[in-house]
Amino acid sequence: MDATKAIGDTLDRMRQRRTAPLVLELDLTEGLAEGPPADPLSALLAMRKSRLADILGGLRRARRDPRVRGLIVKISGGLGLGMVQELRAAVVKLRAAGKFTVAYAETFGEFGTGTVPYYLASAFEKVYLQPSGDVGLTGVSLNQTFVKDALAKLGVEYQVGQRHEYKTAANMFTQDHMTEAHRESARRIVESVTEQIVAGIAESRSLEQKRVRELIDQGPFIGAEAVEAGLVDALKYRDEVYEETVGDARLQYVSRYAKSPRKLPHPGENVIALIHGNGMIRLGRSGRSPAPLGGGGAMGSDTITAALRSARNDDKVKAIVFRVDSPGGSYVASDAIWREVVLARRAGKPVIVSMGDVAASGGYFVAMPADVIVAQPGTLTGSIGVFGGKAVVGGLLDRIGITTEPVDEGANAGIFSTTRAFSDAQWGRVNAWLDRIYDDFVGKVAEGRGIERERAHELAKGRVWTGADAFSRGLVDELGGLEDALALARRRAGLSAETSVRVYPRLNPIERLRPAESSEDKTAAMARLRLEAWGPMARLAGELGLPMYGPLVLPGVWKIS
């Protein structure tokens, strides 16, 4: 009898758990992962990070779930502008579905900038701040460092060619100030991002845009000042926020809610394939630098092309969404991925590109042949151009007493030596190489975007655009996020709005262990660990604008957060 009662009680608790009201919770302290881990180390490092796709899918499901009362999000810094705009859109739709939304922060920048985190918070119905917190609404700033004169004092000369004047990746080595084109491009990016942030805050907080600009000029704000200005609804500690909003509901993280019992695709069901391309583009497989643990990830051409082939050859895949979050890299690797996107379209499968925070240079190269390109207004894209060259450190070596003696067989055997400058003939070969890449890039932009070559050149020249400006110029087809791209893919393929999404390549545990049978085998898309040229200095190299992976690279490290 006791056993029967215990079983009954357990069933009752399970039934109550399934039917109890829910308040969803999202903690952004650790940030969000763009896609699935590329390798075992990435999986280990991302254990505490939720995936953006899971969060967006969970919030989409919550809009239609009568059990869900609302959403509480702890907001912190660290998210890029594109990802923030994805989340803002999802929050706005959740509010429209009648769910309450609450943003809570300990601080929006502790006496520091917090413009983008506050921009995210402003989309919520209520914004609460810890009494000791601040609101660092201070505007948008891009800074460029120039080291030409410092290098000259050390005896280092940087020889570089670029196509064209807006491809400013090497300017920090070759200039001592911003060129006119450099300043024009940076100024427009700052203006465009500011316009988006001002418009979003004004609409969400019921303020005039002129007033929001005035507040930006007055920031940062102490908590009480932020309440008085209408930027924050009240100063509350976490316990006070939760006591006021949760009530008798059950708390559950959005990522757990998204993975709770749901409809899964059966073996014979048509699906949408989702392929993630994150990080610098390189030849070989995707992976990351294993040291230090914070090393950056990379989009390997072998991995991405194998994933695209797998989706193209799968009869159940009716459309492909290619999520790109990359500042570019290798031209050859980018071209290999470009080709597979073209082949997928030729096979009759719509390809929709969804751009993340950044899809520029090589990141734009792999996106441009898609049927439709979807970007956030704040996505950094374009940068259709190329640069290449080398640092000549012979003078530095002389100064510190190091001598080198080359023994060459071939007039250009030492063309890539960093101890000698290019000869006139070698410089001619470098420029021929740059011209070929740029001409190919611009020609494929014209073909993919359906515009005249001259128009493509005018939009190119290495210039970086925000998604909003790229959209107005035809480089991007629609403004939106991953959920918009998935919905568009379903419509293009003639599928229902509930059609399942499957991440490609999707491998079972046995497939992950066995070696690939051929390059056509989907296990060929498995990522691997690989030590990059800069190893633990990878991020510093990016900050310095060094060509880590190839000639199609967005200048430096660009992140608006």
Residue 200 in any domain: the answer is no
Q: Considering just the CA atoms, what is the radius of gyration of the chain in Å?
A: 25
Does 397 reside within a domain?
yes
pLDDT digits 0-9 by tens, 445-496: 999 999 999 999 999 999 999 999 999 999 999 999 999 999 999 999 999 9
Q: Are residues 223 and 302 in the same domain?
A: no
Alpha carbons 37 and 56: distance in angstroms, whole number = 18
- 231 in the same domain as 369: no
Domain hosting residue 490, numbered range: 271-553
Indicate the residue among 227, 259, 291 that finishes a domain.
259
Q: What is the pLDDT of residues 46-92, one digit of tens each?
A: 556 789 999 999 999 999 999 999 999 999 888 999 999 999 999 99
User: Are 247 and 311 in the same domain?
Assistant: no
Position 168 in a domain: no
One domain, residues 426 and 454: yes
Per residue in 404-415, pLDDT tens? Answer: 888 888 888 888
Q: What pLDDT is stored for residue 243 in this prediction?
A: 94
Query: In terms of Cα–Cα distance, which of 386, 388, 390, 355 is closest to 470?
Result: 355
Q: Which of 259, 287, 307 is the last residue of a domain?
A: 259
Residues 247 and 350 in one domain: no
Domain co-membership, 238 together with 362: no
335 & 432 share domain: yes
Q: How many structural domains are present in the chain?
A: 2
Amino acid identity of residue 273, one-letter, is A
Any idea what the CATH number is for the domain that residue 22 is in?
3.90.226.10
% of the chain beyond a pLDDT of 90: 59
- Residue ending a domain, choose from 202, 228, 259: 259
Burial class (CB in 10 A: 0-12, 13-18, 19+), 271: buried
pLDDT band at 534 (very low <50, low <70, confident <90, very high): very low
pTM above 0.85, yes or no: yes
Bridge partner residues of 68 (DSSP): 22
Domain presence at residue 12 = no
What is the average pLDDT across 288-302? 64
Same domain, 401 and 478: yes
Whether 28 is covered by a domain: the verdict is yes
Q: Are residues 319 and 384 in the same domain?
A: yes
In a domain, 188, yes or no: no
Tokens representing residue 107 in the block = 């601080």
pLDDT value for 263: 62
Please answer whether residues 375 and 342 qualify as being in contact, where contact means their C-beta atoms are separated by less than 8 angstroms: no
Considering the domain architecture, whether residues 247 and 120 belong to the same structural domain is answered as yes
- Whether 410 is in a domain gets the answer yes
Confidence at residue 297, expressed as pLDDT on a 0 to 100 scale? 76
Is there a domain that residue 205 lies in? no
Same domain assignment for residues 455 and 540: yes
